[in-house]
Structure 1
Amino acid sequence: MEGVDISDGDPGFAILLTLLAGLATTIGAAIAFCVNTDDNRVFAICLGVSAGVMAYVSFSEILDMTNQSFQDANLSARSAFTFGTLTTFAGILLAMLVEFIGMKCFHRHAGEIVVSDAPEPEAQDMAGEKPLSKSERLNMLQMATFSGIAVALHNFPEGIATFISTMADPSFGPAMAFAIAMHNIPEGLAVAAPIKKATGSKCKAFFWAFVSGLSEPLGGLLGWLVLKDVLGPATYGIFYGLTAGIMIHISFKKMLPTALKYDPNNYYTSYSFFAGMALMAISLIAFRWA
């Protein structure tokens, strides 16, 4: 982004586009409301699709952005690849550490707030469904927490890129924002589905999907005010690498095992995982052609 002239752009229009792109996560939350996530098959499909989305975007886009950012920092291609790989595995280790600390904290306060054994009123209305155990609800909430953090981390630099690109070329901004919005929709589903499953609350699921999407306009706003002159390519490389690692951890350590728990014969999980990959691939192709 160095050397881009944004002095003549319309900041209001640029912020609006980043806001609309980011809040597409709420469309994903709405999809979670339209399906019965208390049906084990449906929930396994939701998790499989979400895992496919996160895995594909990590391996096909974010890792590439990591390596490119390090090359933009004047590193050789092999050095950039090495640093990109290291930061990605650092992200996986960071996610494992946060998971360990989070489980300790959750179990320490297991009798408080949303992790009590009694389901919320909205959850109790689901006829014929066995309430989740305390450990299952803890797992769902932790999965949602990781998903929200990863989506927010992913959206933040996207917000900066969308804002600055729109300021530099207003005709390009809408197409870029639309493409980003398309792959924010399944990311919103990844945040909302486990929250709805754990708490039975559509409001909480929608709220946290909304919050995860807010990092996009926040990134755009900070890009306008401060960060365009502060963050260098190497910082973006680290940022993207950590994000990729966290998303990979969520996909393979949390979402897929949980999906298979609700679909033990793997009738739906693998196919929904591939469908999620295809969905993200289509959105990324649209982004390339925007």
Structure 2
Amino acid sequence: SLVHLASPKSLSVALSLSAGVMLFISLVEIYGKSVEGFTAGLGEDNADGEYECDQTCQGNSWLAGTACFVTGFCIIYVMDWIVHKISPDFSDELDVADLQALEVAVDPTLPHFHATGTPVANSKLDDEKTIKFNAKSRHQLNRTGVLTAVAIAIHNLPEGVATYIAAMRDVRVGAVLAIGIALHNIPEGIAVATPVYFATDSRCKAFLWTFISALAEPLGGVLAWLVVGEGLNPVVEGVMFGIVTGMMVTISIKELIPTAVKYWPQGSVVTVAIFGGMLIMATSLILFAYAGV
């Protein structure tokens, strides 16, 4: 249910699993495909007409793959800079207190809920858990929700591009990457929906803005299809996979893991969930290999 899904621990686990999935698939599969692309594109035919990539070619391939990895890292930071230039006071994360308030607000078993499903201001709950907003607060919350939707849409655009490029070369890699991205989109959706819901008392408006922010990923896939088409030469393929790897690793380390720790700093839940995500991906790759996929 939404109540359990919005709990800090549940979101922490979802973010950690997503980080494990994305780190493993990026560094084990996608980065290797980047180097393979450069190796195929930079090699030459020898005197016997056979393809050959000597030591210099191998070194250049790894150097180029690493350079593209760093480029992906820089792209994420540039996009963050753009978002915070547009709205300096913007934050795309929910505080733990906000999550706890959301749990209270959407729980129909509590006495502060109308039959219509909207929170009542005069609740008998503790003051710190009571949902009370004046007109100014509602306006600010609505603005926060809209800005969050726009910012997350900007973040999601390259993720759609990355998923398309990965799936174009290898469907299983694209599918796994899509699963990892979907997991970390759950808390992003809640980050958009929560302020809009509290500001308007409307689940429909909260869903609408969440839906709008999510459209950026399929739009990114469509843009990649229009630009890339059906195929790439090996060097361009290597460039794209290297950039995708850098972007996915940066998102995992910069955003997903710190946010997961923030939501649930107690114990080893985050660590176990990250390794769990990696183990899930490793197991799936082993099964794919045995199946010849």
- Output the TM-score relative to the length of structure 2: 0.64
Q: Distance in 1 between matches of 2:236 and 2:257?
A: 31
1:253 is matched with: 254
| Kept after mapping to 2: 8 A contact 1:69/1:234 | yes
Change (3 A) 1:150 1:46: farther
Task: Please state if 1:148 is matched with 2:123.
Answer: no
Change (3 A) 1:196 1:246: same
Q: Specify the code of the residue in structure 2 equivalent to 1:185.
A: I
Q: Specify the code of the residue in structure 1 equivalent to 2:80.
A: E
| Kept after mapping to 1: 8 A contact 2:37/2:234 | yes
| Kept after mapping to 2: 8 A contact 1:45/1:272 | yes
Q: What does the per-residue CA deviation read over 1:54-91, in whole Å, with 9 as the maximum and x for residues that have no partner?
A: 11111111110110110111241111011101110121
1:57 is matched with: 25
1:126 is matched with: 106
- Give RMSD over aligned pairs: 3.9
Larger C-alpha radius of gyration, 1 or 2?
Answer: 2
Which range moved further: 189-198 or 245-254? 189-198
1:35 to partner: Cα distance:
7.1
Residue segments in structure 1 that go unaligned for 5+ positions in a row: 1-32, 163-175
1:68 is matched with: 36
Q: Specify the code of the residue in structure 2 equivalent to 1:84.
A: G
Change (3 A) 1:271 1:145: farther
1:268 is matched with: 269
1:45 is matched with: 13
Change (3 A) 1:129 1:197: farther
Change (3 A) 1:98 1:157: same
1:180 to partner: Cα distance:
4.2
1:42 to partner: Cα distance:
0.6
| Kept after mapping to 2: 8 A contact 1:35/1:42 | no
Q: What does the per-residue CA deviation read over 1:75-117, in whole Å, with 9 as the maximum and x for residues that have no partner?
A: 4111101110111012112211221222221227x5xxxx9xx
2:178 is matched with: 184
2:169 is matched with: 161
Q: Specify the code of the residue in structure 1 equivalent to 2:178.
A: N
SS of the residue corresponding to residue 107 of structure 1 reads coil
Change (3 A) 1:130 1:266: farther
Change (3 A) 1:154 1:235: same
Q: What does the per-residue CA deviation read over 1:216-270, in whole Å, with 9 as the maximum and x for residues that have no partner?
A: 57756776xx453xx3211111111111111111111111111111112243111
Q: Distance in 2 between matches of 1:243 and 1:130?
A: 42
Q: Distance in 2 between matches of 1:287 and 1:129?
A: 50
- Output the TM-score relative to the length of structure 1: 0.64
Q: Specify the code of the residue in structure 2 equivalent to 1:125.
A: A
Q: Distance in 1 between matches of 2:220 and 2:280?
A: 22
1:212 is matched with: 217
Which range moved further: 277-286 or 98-107? 277-286
SS of the residue corresponding to residue 4 of structure 2 reads coil
Q: Distance in 2 between matches of 1:261 and 1:252?
A: 13
1:198 to partner: Cα distance:
3.7
SS of the residue corresponding to residue 73 of structure 1 reads helix
Change (3 A) 1:73 1:93: same
1:137 to partner: Cα distance:
7.4
> How many aligned residue pairs are there?
229
Q: Specify the code of the residue in structure 1 equivalent to 2:9.
A: R
| Kept after mapping to 1: 8 A contact 2:22/2:177 | no
| Kept after mapping to 1: 8 A contact 2:40/2:234 | yes
